Amino acid sequence: MVSKNPESGVRLGKDRIEVDGVEVRRTEKIYWMLNKPRGLLTTTADEQGRETVYRGLPAGLPWMAPVGRLDKASEGLLFFTSDSEWAARITSPESHLDKIYHVQIAALADESLLTALMQGVRPAGGEVLRAKRAARIRTGEKNSWIEIVLDEGKNRQIRRMLGAFDVNVLRLVRVAIGPVELGPLEKGRARELTADEKQQLDRALNDSAIRQLRPRYSKYE
């Protein structure tokens, strides 16, 4: 039976839908990762014509949006997807999904700085910003590499936290989101997430949701 009534019900997987004689097919959701180089904007388009992260994606892919963002001066792991619901879960502060960054600073990182980053700072009287974890990776004569883990990323959070201590960020590289690591992917290159990586991310998101629903009991009850 043929129906031209736009309000007619549709049986998914059984009915054929056409627009101007062309069959409408369900678009498969896709998930990619990019090793973002410094200097690219995390946006779909720029009014000033500056280069965006889409430069790193192969031509001919279906449309995808960046999942979250890395600022122009930052590098590393950035997801893309056509699945807006999944993207929202990845970026939601309620997901508490760890994001791991390796940061080169123009200072010698000592224990007092690392402890202060985890205790939290309030830059210029604004909101309190804190790292879930902070550890020293290696130290040179004038600068250090530190690892910072965030589970509630805010705009330019790491730069603002370190700026509160007058520490200049030389490089900032995101190396992991949840269980998925940047790995050996070359800078400026992109690839599709493997089925295992996608499953690991989904499992991490589901585990986080379960933790949020779990009742918290007072020790005095």
> Residue 202: what are its φ and ψ, rounded to 5°?
-65, -40
Other beta carbons within 10 angstroms of residue 89's beta carbon come to 19
User: Measured between alpha carbons, how far is 101 from 119 in angstroms, rounded to an integer?
Assistant: 18
Other beta carbons within 10 angstroms of residue 84's beta carbon come to 11
User: Measured between alpha carbons, how far is 203 from 208 in angstroms, rounded to an integer?
Assistant: 9
Q: Which of 15, 46, 71, 196 is catalytic?
A: 71
Of 77, 132, 134, the closest CA to residue 105 belongs to 134
Active site residue 166: no
Please give the span between the terminal C-alpha atoms of the chain, in angstroms, as a whole number.
64
Locate 39 and state its tokens: 């200097």
Other beta carbons within 10 angstroms of residue 214's beta carbon come to 8
Surface-to-core class of residue 94, CB atoms within 10 Å of its CB (0-12 exposed, 13-18 middle, 19+ buried): exposed
Q: How many CA atoms lie within 13 A of 21 on its CB side?
A: 0
- How long a stretch of residues is the chain? 221
- Active-site residue list: 71
